[in-house]
Chains A and B, each alone.
Chain A
């Protein structure tokens, strides 16, 4: 049979972050964690982790001192709302970020 070269194009997507770009640009408030109030950070033990559990986007790390990926955090505030010890405050994103400056 003659050589056939068929591309067989479909819309098949490969996994990767940022389908919607840098979704950190969506937010108007960002979460700031007070490690002196945070139960896991205070006790230096892997406990609680509710901010990590409830984050819809998985941008909170499951660490003793949880970190937030601000590139992708949409600023929903669920982490702040659910933190049992009010260790997270949603701070206004009014000025330019450090990078932008």
Chain B
């Protein structure tokens, strides 16, 4: 389980999640969870707050997940994971990995306090934020990571007025032992990153951009296509940060050599949640993306 893999053939066929669960058809979280568990193995304990994953993991008394898990209150994911790790340490069962899974709402908004403190205390667990860019479980309300201009059920006409938080940057500023950004559309990349993270001690943070057909307003079959577009337009970057050093990964690193990335408008037009974006707003985003990549080329090429 230690070598990096490059394709699906090398992935174990063993499944750790049962089908017939309540994840939406075409759910990006369902995919990343399924592949992520292959990277983690069975010697784990999960901590999950109210979120899409709570429902996907099953309603009482059937668990779709095959991993032991404790459901906790919304704000307390990182704190409960701290407690689980402390208990395992006290019982000298430290080989068991602790993984906290929370959505963007549960991480960037209500859960940020506990997470920030857990990094400051350098607790030993993996924290995964699956970012579908809204409170999807409660029906698509805006969150701290919802992009500016997005139509959600509580920004229903004008779209969200504020720019989203750069949550990975906030976490990176805490300097955890490992922080990485991933996408559900690039499962091999996050498989490798999870494996790498699990080999490290301390608080590891992985942020996974998670396409959501239900909430983003696109055909279910396009989850991967749209997820990839977010990366290939340069809007969402895959990277790792260790010791303050940021390194672009795989699909994003490839973009460094390219002079012309796909236009962000190609990404925005695939999803009805962006229908309220004006030409000016899209141009604004394009300018930001262009200057970001210009900086990257200067720093990293």
Chain A–chain B contact at Cβ < 8 A: yes
Task: Give A contacts to B, CB under 8 Å.
Answer: 11-23, 26-27, 46-50, 52-59, 62, 69, 71-72, 74-78, 80-82, 90
- Cβ B63 vs Cβ A16 within 8 A: yes
Given contacts A15-B65, A56-B31, A81-B225, contact A27 B20 (CB under 8 A): no
A74 cross-chain contacts in B, Cβ below 8 A: 25-26
B28's partner among A11, A22, A56 (CB-CB below 8 A) is A56
Q: Does B23 contact A (CB under 8 A)?
A: yes
Instruction: Chain B residues near A71: list those with CB within 8 A.
Output: 19-20
Q: Is the CB of A76 within 8 A of B20?
A: no
Which of B10-18, B111-119, B132-140 contacts the other chain? B10-18
Could you jot down 11 A-B contacts, CB within 8 Å? A13-B59, A19-B58, A48-B8, A53-B187, A56-B27, A56-B34, A57-B21, A76-B26, A76-B221, A78-B26, A80-B221
Binding site for A on B (CB under 8 A): 8-9, 11, 13, 15, 17-23, 25-28, 30-31, 34-35, 58-66, 187, 213, 219-225
A23–B62 Cα distance when bound, in Å, is 15
- 18 additional A-B residue pairs with CB within 8 Å, beyond A56-B23, A82-B224: A12-B60, A15-B18, A17-B18, A49-B8, A53-B8, A53-B187, A56-B31, A56-B223, A57-B21, A58-B17, A58-B19, A59-B19, A62-B13, A76-B25, A78-B220, A78-B223, A80-B221, A90-B221
> Which residues of B have CB within 8 Å of A46?
9
Assembly CA distance A76 to B56 (angstroms): 16
In the complex, chain B residues whose CB is within 8 Å of the CB of A82: 224
A residues in contact with B31, CB < 8 Å: 54-56, 78
* Pairwise interchain contact A57-B224, C-beta atoms closer than 8 A: no
A71 and B23 CA atoms in complex are apart in Å by 15
Partner of B221, one of A23, A58, A77: A77
Give CA–CA (A27, B219) in the complex, Å. 13
Q: Is the CB of A81 within 8 A of B224?
A: yes
Q: Are B187 and A14 in contact (CB under 8 A)?
A: no
Closest to A73 in B: B19
Cα distance A69–B222 in the bound complex, in angstroms = 21
Measured in the bound complex, the distance between the Cα atoms of B8 and A22 in whole Å is 27
